Structure 1
Amino acid sequence: MNENYNNQPGGNYAQYNTPQNGGYSPDDNRFNGGYGRGNDNYPQNNRDSNKTVIIVVIIALVIILALGGVITFMLLSKNPSDSEKLPMTTTAAATAATEAKTEPATISVINVEGYKSDDAYQALNDAGIKYTVSREYSEKVDEGYVISQSPKSGSIKADEKVKLYVSKGSEKAKQSSQSSQSSENTRTIYINNGGDSSYIIADSNSRYLSESEVRSLSRDQMNYAINEIYARHGRLFKSSSLQSYFNSKSWYHGYVEPGSFDANVNSYLNNVEIYNVNLIDKVQKQLGYK
């Protein structure tokens, strides 16, 4: 028995150092740290892991680049370049130029002092100058002529007006005339139309009329009465019959065109005359004459 043991290859080592006896075997992976034939897949798994990491890195880079593009676009949208701001600057300049163009132009003033009022109005209209008229008594300038103006010269804006002062004649002379008429009993309301110095109502320029006396007039008398208030101030008439009627009166001197007179009627009439005109006009409408 001992002989057989000693004669076996490897002796006791070969006999008892078998896998079945718990011994070492080149094929037994329990002792080789996992590097035997039983763990041949490890290098392949390592390569797969490396590929996964690379793919994740690439995806992360793509996402970062995409986010960077979005942020850049948003910043550019909120802060336009100088080329985009240029139209705004150009528009502002154009607006300023337009505002400058809309400023009123200036007009050179012409002096019409001493002109007959109608000639003065025409000259100012031809020059494109707007004006207002005030009438006042003058002991030096005849009735119907320009006493003075403001401004006399220089330039004014197109929307400004020249102020004209037109003579109503001598106040003393008119007071003397009215006194003479009163002494001759010319204050009678009804006066024959015949005669150069006749009036329908001689003192309608200095006395407030009553409605009852106006209603006592005929239709034609009312028409002459209201227009003789205008005629005293030199108004011309479009109606040939009215013009002929007043031309027959020695006290009438027509020189003011109807349009010019009507545009400045309140500057010609005094407060008494304005009241009487409105009263006669009211009665005419009530009676159906107008």
Structure 2
Amino acid sequence: VTDLGDLVEDPQFLNSLQSGVNRWIKEIRKVTKLERDPGSGSSLQEMTFWLNLERALQKILQKRESEEVTLTLEALKCGKRFHATVSFDTDTGLKQTLALVTDYNSLMKDFPLNELVSATDLDSIKVALGNVFGHMKKIRATKYPIQRALRFIEAISRDMNAQILKAGVYVVVLGTRRLMHISIVEFDQLMMQCIQLFTKWDDEYDKFITLLRDISKKKRDEPVKLMWKVLPLHKKLEGRLVQIKAFRKQHEQLRVVIARVLRPAGTPSGETQPDTQPHSGELTPVDQVNLAYEFVKE
């Protein structure tokens, strides 16, 4: 600063420096005030937002502690422009924001979300889901807002849903086949896997909500009453699968009952049934049931 000589008393010079500092403050605030809606987008977007924000803030802090910035602030201090030097830190909230973001990232770092969004079968999704909820337990040691965590859970549900459903066709984990076209045996196997997956979600979700409620009780400074309602998107898919499962089960029961009832007395199960074979091009009752199903599945 001594090298600046009389410049530290030159109003024009000091005004120029102060103007530059004010611009810095505005630019820094654009970063420290960044926010995103956790209720939109994917869980990966929430994670990468905080990780990227921490890196950006660290770079700004490095600039803040550089010789150029330090010299500028010292020159203003010598010129008795104290307000400019004090407001540089207080108005930007740089260090406070960095501390908070760093705290959040103790949850976000090493989050196994990629396991979920890259899973290619139902069993892999179930394993990934367990790992995701297991990692979420780290929230206990952070200041990550509970309300935000609930929206984060909804984003995870959307990601899980996306792995099962795409463009109205059950692809990836269920293959390119439509659920109405595969055999009843294969369908039942897939439904069992789906039920296990959805049950896994329900179990893990219940445990996580219990954890959040415990955290909430300990945070007596909670400013507003929490809204605990969560709307997992995959619940719509689960409901649709339940409907399809019920329909296919009822159809199969109807087909079996008709075949059994129309089987002549004393005819072993599985043996050709003359009375139920078509006469003069007519369809048997079983054929009619199967044909009706063909129309429905298309």
Q: TM-score by structure 2 length?
A: 0.24
Relative contact order higher in (CA < 8 Å, ≥ 6 apart): 2
Larger strand share, 1 or 2: 1
Whose radius of gyration is greater, 1 or 2? 1
